[in-house]
Amino acid sequence: MICKNNNKCKTGLKIVVSSFLVFLLIIKINWVEVWGYISNANIYLIAWYIIFYVLGLIVSARKWQVLARFKQFKNNFLFYFKSYLLGTFLNNFFPSFIGGDTYRVYSLGKPVQKVSKSSTTVIVDRISGLVSIMILSVAFAWMNYEVLISHQIIVWIIIALIVLLVCVFAGVLFFDSKFVQYFVKFLPQFIQRYIKQIFAFRHPAIASKALGYSFLFAIVGVAIANYLLFKSIGVCLSVEDYISVIFLSSIIAAMPISVGNIGVKEWAYVFLFGIFGVTSNAAVTVVLLSRVLQMLVSLIAVPFYLQSKNKLEYKK
């Protein structure tokens, strides 16, 4: 039977993938050992993880503010930080495009009737973050190329990332060329206008700031923060081994094949960190800890959301 609704089909397929991957985790992982890791985790290192994770959110919120100002949005930093927090909370339950990102788009654009412009800031925020992670994945993978090259799937991932990066930078550099514009003109007018809005962020001052903040978040909110989680449960990885795959794991986890990357992120950690001797139980523990801690941090924004919602209802 052919599915008539593509969105429902995609969501259903993601649920199936997540369920299957979680089922494999349930039968493979020793959950008694996982609980042992969690119950004996170093609380001080957990606290430092939260600090660095929040610092990463601050950097991300500041990047979004820079992108929004480029589109003439005048909100203060606290607005972007609260919206980012609540968006992160919603992403725990929904795919980004119907959860956190949609909330961010509407929280920024709806009050001033500029939803289209606000959506470009969120899209460019996502793209710049993904590009920075891709660059770091390729750059740091070479630190352990003698080990990683023996795993063919990693080699193909690196090649794919390099090709994608070349395409992205080529698109940015040659968007205004006659060759590219020849194909763009066949698109509907509203899509052409929207694409031009996105490519307007190519402005050197804006693009450099967006990538700079993205790199800073990747180092602070991803690399350092998650390294602290490994240390908190007693897993001692060398910095060289750890940094060579942490960004690759983020790339794999970002693949839109499951709901909220559930199952995908866990198996990415099991595979990549398992190369360096980390047990499956320890790898899954780190992912579960990060999920729970991120959700707890994002709960801080819920009272702000309820407050703003009540104010809106009162005005109506």
For residue range 92-144, what is the model confidence (pLDDT) as tens digits?
666 555 577 888 998 898 888 889 899 999 999 999 999 999 999 999 988 88
Residues 6+ apart with CB under 8 A from 265: 249, 252, 253, 287
Q: How confident is the model at residue 312 (pLDDT cuts 50, 70, 90)?
A: very low
Question: What tens digit of pLDDT does each residue of 184-207 get?
Answer: 888 888 888 888 889 889 888 999
Burial (0-12, 13-18, 19+ Cβ within 10 Å), 195: middle
Question: What tens digit of pLDDT does each residue of 241-263 get?
Answer: 999 999 999 998 888 777 767 88
φ, ψ (nearest 5 deg) of residue 156:
-65, -35
283 is a domain residue? yes
Residues 6+ apart with CB under 8 A from 67: 121, 124, 125, 201, 206, 210
138 is a domain residue? yes
5 is a domain residue? no
213 is a domain residue? yes
Closest Cα to residue 90, out of 246, 301, 244, 254?
Answer: 301
Q: Residue 259 sits in which domain range?
A: 41-308
- pLDDT for the residue numbered 111: 85
Q: Which of 54-63, 207-216, 253-262 has the lowest mean pLDDT?
A: 253-262
36 is a domain residue? no
3 is a domain residue? no
- Report, as an integer, the average pLDDT of 76-96: 80
232 is a domain residue? yes
What is the total count of domains within the chain? 1
Q: Which of 42-51, 59-68, 143-152, 197-206 has the lowest mean pLDDT?
A: 143-152
Amino acid at the residue 28: K
Using the predicted structure, report yes or no on whether residue 239 has a pLDDT greater than 70.
yes
Contact between residue 158 and residue 141 where contact means Cβ atoms under 8 Å apart: yes
117 is a domain residue? yes
pTM greater than 0.95 (yes/no): no
